[in-house]
Structure 1
Amino acid sequence: MSVDAAPAHRLFPLFADLRDRTVLVVGGGVVATRKVEALLGTGARIVVGAPVLDATLAGWAAQGRIEHRAGAFTPDWLDDAWLAIAATDDADVNRAVAEAGERRRVWVNVVDDMALARVHLPARIERGPVQVAISSGGGAPMLARLLRERIETSLDESVGALATFLTRHRHRIRARWPDAAARRRAFETLLSGPLPSLLRRRRHIEAERHFDAVLAPDSPHAAAGSVALVGAGPGDPGLLTLRALRVLNEADVVLHDRLVSDDVLQLARRDAERIEVGKQANGRSTAQDKINALLVEHARAGKRVVRLKGGDPFVFGRGGEELEVLRAAGIGYEVVPGITAATACAAYAGIPLTHRDHAQSLRLVTAHAKDSLDTLDWPALAQGRQTLAVYMGVAMLDTLRERLLAHGRAPTTPFALVENGTRATQRVVIGTLADLPDTARLHAVCSPALLILGEVAGLARSLHWFGARPLNCHNATLSQAA
């Protein structure tokens, strides 16, 4: 017969105002220092009791930021304390502090002793006046820290500025909407509109003007739409920036390229509308004018729109063109950079784009159509000791080879074709310029693939680390020795 254990009691979360109140920290070492550091901004009178203090605590005492009570702990140290922290490496001393606090009705935290502690200090996230506290009840502090790290990535630094702004105008908000329900709707309008983005971009005057407009008696309180151009990187969702992740979590509509990976799309808000607007050579494509119209249409409907582009929106992503359209339409926007294909594919293939011995410059080139090839400076591209990263060039490899050779690039120049870079299906095909198109056809290389040409491409043989080993013209993976 089994008997279920009694359910553990839950802790009551509480934020304490410690201004001008005494907090006693018993201990003078590293742990005590960490606890004192967390208390320094609270306005508390911090008293540290210990025979000696470490260098950091001693420095704070010399500056007058804390008081030092020298000697061994005695219960009278708690006489004027509101909170005490036992942070020594002596279990008997920690127990004495806890027992003395119990008799005096002083809350005591005993570091790493769940049984003795009567108050627990949570893992904290701070964004200005905003604090998020996480507690595991004292039983699993490492779990609380892990959760703190995960939540921290989703809270933009501008949250603190937003909280400060709303606090400063709290009286105006309450006066404008004395009814609680109406005030709640007004807050939803403010928080879903451009105010957070304006504060994040440090557009404080515009933020004040927007706030004044929302508070105006004749304001319809309609949330203004906006567009974020977001770089999705080459496919691995782990390469997204924190800002990109936050914007995706806030999106109402996501207009995404065909090459944006499903793993990245899964990070968008679950109920966001997803619209594919990709372009594909010799296939179904969405005209740029149509994409522009969709951006304006959804933003004018009050939606938070994310234009999600593979790589970086400002590197062969037509991001500049789209910003010009948004600016002409009077729509607010921001740009979230992404890791462009040249950087990511080269890194995942073990190819340094620059190298003191091989390449002192890097050129990014697009070759998605014959007309674009005609505009390139071929004599400059054919120079040695530089790296060429060619985007969208799979269909033009024969022409690329012939023009580079014709302008003096050595036929023995190494190349690497990185297909589906950073993804589980990544392949790297290597060889020399002379056999570039033949090797690509041998291995049926297809888009998306980035061509890296230059001496550094030869380092893929020895520096590869992700996925299968590179393939060569002999249709076999290179040996381990290679």
Structure 2
Amino acid sequence: MSTALFPLFADLRGRAVRVVGGGAVAERKVEALLHAGALPRVGAPALTPRLDQWVAEGRIQWTAGEFIPAWLDAVWLVIAATDDPAVNRAVADAAESCRLLANVVDDAELSSFQVPALVERGALQIAISSGGHAPMVARHIRRQLETLLDASWGELIALLGRQRTRIRTRFPEMGERRRFFENLLAGAVPRLLRQHQGQAAEAELQRALSLAPRAPTVGIVTLVGAGPGDAGLLTLNALRAMNEADVILHDRLVSAEVLAMARRDATRIEVGKSAKGHSTRQEDIHAQMLEHARAGKRVVRLKGGDSFVFGRGGEELEFLKAHDVPFEVVPGITAALACAAYSGIPLTHRDHAQAVRLVTAHCKDSLDTLDWQALAQERQTLAVYMGVAGLETFRDKLIAAGRTPHIPFALVENGSRRTQRVITGTLADLPQTARSFDVQSPALLLLGEVTALAHTLHWYGDAPLGDAASTHESNAAAHTLSRAA
């Protein structure tokens, strides 16, 4: 995996930048530098007619000849834009020695910075970079953005820039200021600018700034289901809530990919529970939600899967209700749905599974409270949220209640994530199979005839591990289901 680039907008006004090369590519780079107010210094044996004209006009300096390291004295950046790989490498090496950032056109390995594709609307600039690996993809995305963003965005930036000091004075607190902007951008000002009514837009902004400040109010807590890990499974409402949040209280198992979708400057606090190591007490989670909400913050309680499926979401809402804290709920895709789908296992099947049971069995106490006679019934699928603890007890109680030991199962580890593994077998061998493949939490157990399809309908990640048909019954189920599907 390549290292992520640090995005940077450089102020080059009045600063010297060396461009090595005098051809068409160098000309484009010099033009962009002039647009940014830089002082290009071009070094090359010869120049294009346009570069030659800029030299004559005094807009750029030209050093005739072949590259030497002294060309990098007293410059801020360097761009190598020649068609000679040896010269480009010499420029990159010399820049590295001088601790200068260098861009070698079309050579990501030699470059210490990349020049992105740019969408520009006045002072608004959107840079798109592929890290130098696929510039045409960056340009393709730029063309798409060009069609989405009209010139009024530049006018909006200019208008807000003129009022920046007054806005910051009027709304000194960051959260209050952000909400002012959210309301402003959803209101009439952008529309008026799109209609070329600049004076009316400025008047509307002045009106919004003159409104009496609202008294501090209690914030809001939004329970957001983050799904099992794949950020693509987040809902639009989940993304909205995560990007409006002041504080995010997230579970330990919420994936890094999901957290990366949240607002960058939100305060993030891990409040996860773990069978091993540090855990946050539910009472402490309640206290933190209350503290931040009463401070007027927008709080997102971000949970793996869905808040209302073994996520203690009901308890948290009861607490918030008792303390008069407003709340919202954004459902998430629970692990049973995602793990089954990403394993090619239909939870229901017209001929073989007319019911699905979602079960939690994390410890001996929860195992003792289950209705084993109901769980042992045929023609249903069990989705068991239990990690990897208690598998032997689970197997023994289910068989004792009448479930055939030959029923197939699938253990889905890290469901929907890049590291997903699917382990298959039959109920009789469930604990031994889990141990032999060293299955780790988070893992979900799916049990029933439909799990035999994990091998035939596999589509995501590595193929399932374990015996696809370790018994005659499992093999027959797989064959029957494959024909029906």
TM-score range, shorter chain: 0.5 to 0.7
| Residue 218 of structure 2 is aligned to residue 224 of structure 1 | yes
Equivalent position of 1:236 in the other structure: 230
Structure 1: which amino acid aligns with 2:248?
A: V
- Equivalent positions of 1:278-317 (< 5 A) are 278-317=272-311
Structure 1 CA distance, aligned partners of 2:353 and 2:275? 32
1:373 corresponds in structure 2 to 367
Counterpart of 1:412 in 2: which secondary structure? coil
Is 2:15 the partner of 1:2?
Answer: no
Q: Deviations over 1:431-462 (max 9, x none)?
A: 01111111111111111000000001110011
Question: For residues 7 and 145 of structure 1, what CA distance do their matches in structure 2 show?
Answer: 20
Which of residues 266, 270, 292 in structure 1 aligns to 2:264? 270
388, 399, 406: which one aligns with 1:405: 399
Q: Identify the residue that residue 451 of structure 1 maps to in structure 2.
A: 445
2:412, 2:423 within 8 Å by CA — same for their partners in 1?
yes
TM superposition shift of 1:224: 3.2
Distance (whole Å) between structure 2 residues aligned to residue 227 and residue 221 of structure 1:
19
Which residue of the partner structure matches residue 252 of structure 1?
246
Rounded to whole Å, the distance in 2 between the matches of 1:472 and 1:413 is 14
Instruction: Tell me the residue number matched to 2:171.
Output: 185
In 2, Cα distance between the equivalents of 1:241 and 1:146? 23
Is the deviation greater in 142-151 or in 289-298?
A: 142-151
Structure 2 match to 1:207: none
Q: Equivalents in 1 of 2:167, 2:268: separation in Å?
A: 32
- Whole-angstrom CA distance in 1 between matches of 2:241 and 2:325: 17
| Structure 1 residue matching 2:341: 3-state secondary structure | helix
**Does the 8 A contact of 1:189 with 1:223 survive in 2?**
no
**Distance apart, 1:218 and its partner CA:** 9.2
Map of 1:147 onto structure 2: 145
Q: TM-score, normalised by structure 1?
A: 0.57
Report how far residue 147 of structure 1 moved: 3.5
Give me the whole-angstrom Cα distance separating, in 2, the residues matched to 1:146 and 1:302.
Answer: 38
- Cα distance in 2 for residues equivalent to 1:150 and 1:245: 20
Partners of 1:261 and 1:310 in 2: CA distance: 8
Contact 1:189 1:221 in 2 (8 A): no
- Is it true that 1:437 corresponds to 2:431 in the alignment? yes
Q: In the TM superposition, what whole-angstrom CA distance separates every residue of 1:136-176 from its partner, at most 9, and x where no partner exists?
A: xxxx997578439999xxxxxxxxxxxxxxxxxxxxxxxxx
Query: 1:351, 1:456 within 8 Å by CA — same for their partners in 2?
Result: yes
Question: Structure 1 CA distance, aligned partners of 2:379 and 2:391?
Answer: 21
- 1:442 and 1:473 in contact (8 A); partners too: no
Q: Size of the alignment, in residue pairs?
A: 312
- The 2-side partners of 1:414 and 1:450 are apart by 14
Between stretches 273-282 and 397-406, larger displacement belongs to 273-282
Change (3 A) 1:352 1:368: same
How far the C-alpha of 1:365 sits from its partner, in A, is: 0.3
Q: Return the alpha-carbon distance in structure 2 between the equivalents of residues 382 and 191 of structure 1.
A: 54
1:9-48 equivalences under 5 Å are none
Cα displacement (A) at 1:340:
0.3
Within 2, Cα distance between the matches of 1:338 and 1:253?
19
Shift, 1:283, TM fit: 2.7
Aligned-pair CA distance for 1:370? 1.2
Q: 3-state DSSP class of the match of 1:299? A: helix
Equivalences for residues 94-113 of structure 1 within 5 A: none
Which residue of 2 is the match for residue 396 of structure 1?
Answer: 390
Per the alignment, do residues 148 and 369 of structure 1 end up closer, same or farther by CA in structure 2, a change over 3 Å counting?
farther
Distance 1:406 1:451 in 2: 19
Specify the code of the residue in structure 2 equivalent to 1:192: R
Aligned to 1:420: 414
Q: Contact (CA 8 Å) 1:190, 1:223: kept in 2 or not?
A: no
Structure 1 residues 231 and 146, CA gap change in structure 2 (3 angstroms): farther
- The answer for the alignment partner of 1:353 in structure 2 is 347
The alignment-based identity, stated in percent, is 63
Distance 2:459 2:399 in 1: 31
SS of corresponding position for 1:395: coil
Offset, 1:282: 3.5
Q: Deviations over 1:317-339 (max 9, x none)?
A: 00010011111111111111111
Which string of whole-angstrom CA distances, capped at 9 and with x for unpartnered residues, describes residues 199-245 of structure 1?
9xxxxxxxxxxxxxx99x99763253111111110001111111111
Cα deviation for residue 471 of structure 1 reads: 1.1
CA distance in 1, matches of 2:298, 2:388: 35
**Cα 1:299–1:148 shift into 2, 3 Å:** farther
Distance 1:271 1:335 in 2: 22
Deviation at residue 393 of structure 1 after TM alignment: 4.3
CA distance in 1, matches of 2:386, 2:148: 36
Q: Which amino acid aligns with 1:369?
A: C
**Is residue 387–residue 442 contact of structure 2 (8 Å, CA) maintained in 1?**
no
CA distance in 2, matches of 1:260, 1:188: 25
Structure 2 residue aligned with 1:461: 455
d(CA) in 2 for partners of 1:446 and 1:180? 55
